[in-house]
Structure 1
Amino acid sequence: MEHFAIGVDLGGTAIKVASVSVSGNILLEHKLPTEAAKGPETVIENILAGICTVLNETLKMHARDLLSGVGIGVPGVVSLDGGTISYPPNLPGWTVVRLGDILRTELERRKKLMLPIFVENDANVAALGESTFGAGRQFSDFVMITLGTGVGGGIIINNKIYRGVTGAAGELGHMTIDYRSERIHAGIRGSLEGLIGQQRIVDYAKSLMADAPSKILHELCDGDLSRLDARLLSEAAQRGDSIALETWRFVGEALGAGLGTIVSVLDIRKFVVGGGVSGAGDFILKPAREALYRYTLKSMHEGLEILQAKLGNRAGVMGAAALCF
Structure 2
Amino acid sequence: MRQVRLCFDVGGTYIKFGVFAQDNTWLSQGKIATPHESKEVFFDALLAKIVEIEQTATIEGIGLSFPGFIDPEQGVAIMAGALAPIHGCNIIKELQGRLIGDYPIWIENDARCAALAELSSGHATDVQDFVLITLGTGVGGALVHQRKLIRGSGFRAGEFGMMVTDFQASSFATLHDLASTRGLIDAFRQAKSIPINKEILGETIMEQWDKDPETQQIVRQWARYVAIAIYNLAVTMNPEKILIGGGISQNPVLLPIVRQALKDNPHWLDFQVPLETCRYYNDAGLLGALSLIEQGGKK
Q: Deviations over 1:59-104 (max 9, x none)?
A: 4xxxx6xx3x211011111125242112313223233111112223
| Structure 1 position 148, deviation (Å) | 1.0
CA, structure 1 residues 23+290, in 2 after alignment: closer, same or farther (shift >3 Å)? farther
Which residue identity does 1:48 align to in structure 2? L
| 1:280 correspondence with 2:279 | no
What secondary structure, in the 3-state scheme, does the structure 1 residue paired with 2:233 have? helix
Q: Is the 8 A contact 2:64 2:108 kept in 1?
A: yes
Inter-CA distance 56–252: structure 2 relative to 1 (3 Å threshold): farther
> Which among 91, 100, 111 is matched to residue 99 of structure 1?
91
Q: Which amino acid aligns with 2:177?
A: G
In the TM superposition, what is the alpha-carbon distance from 1:174 to its structure 2 partner? Answer: 1.1
TM-score relative to the length of structure 2: 0.86
Given that 1:18 and 1:30 are in contact with CA atoms closer than 8 Å, whether structure 2 keeps it comes out as yes
Hey, what does 2:297 align to over in structure 1?
none
Identity %: 25
Q: How many residues align?
A: 292
Q: Per-residue CA shift, 1:207-235, capped at 9, x if unaligned? A: 4447xxxxxxxxxx9x9993433122122
Question: Given the alignment of the two structures, is residue 323 of structure 1 paired with residue 292 of structure 2, yes or no?
Answer: yes
317 and 99 in structure 1: CA distance in 2 versus 1, 3 angstrom threshold: same
Q: For the aligned residues, what is the CA RMSD?
A: 2.7
CA offsets 1:165-207 (integer angstroms, 9 cap, x no match) = 1211110111122121335xxxxx1422211223321232244
CA gap 1:52/1:127 in 2 versus in 1, 3 angstroms: farther
SS in structure 1 of the partner of residue 15 of structure 2: strand
Distance of aligned partners of 1:93 and 1:209 in 2 relative to their CA distance in 1, 3 Å threshold: closer
Tell me, yes or no, if structure 1 residue 311 matches structure 2 residue 247: no
Please say if residues 262 and 268 of structure 2, whose CA atoms lie closer than 8 Å, have aligned partners that are also in contact: no
Name the structure 2 match of 1:186.
none
| Change in 2 beyond 3 A, CA 1:224/1:5 | closer
Deviation at 1:24, TM superposition (A): 4.9
Match of residue 240 from structure 1: 211
Gap runs ≥5 in structure 1: 184-188, 211-220
| Distance in structure 2 (CA, Å) of the matches to 1:46 and 1:291 | 44
Q: Structure 2: which 5+ residue stretches go unaligned?
A: 295-299
Aligned to 1:5: 5
Q: 1:253 aligns with which of 224, 235, 249?
A: 224
Residue in 2 that maps onto 1:127: 115
- Counterpart among 256, 266, 290 of residue 260 in structure 2: 290
8 A Cα contact 2:179 2:222, kept in partner: yes
Q: Is the CA contact (8 Å cut-off) linking 1:80 and 1:166 kept in structure 2?
A: no
Alpha-carbon distance in 2 for matches of 1:124, 1:179: 28
5 Å-filtered alignment, 1:141-152, equals 141-152=129-140
Sort the Cα spacing of 1:87 and 1:167 in 2 relative to 1 into closer, same or farther, 3 A.
Answer: closer
Q: Which has the higher helix share?
A: 1
C-alpha offsets along residues 249-292 of structure 1, whole Å, 9 cap, x if unaligned? Answer: 2222211111111111111141111112323333x211322333
Output the CA distance in 1 between the equivalents of 2:52 and 2:73. 28
Among 60, 63, 72, the residue aligned to 2:64? 72
| 1:214 corresponds to | none
Partner of 2:198: 226
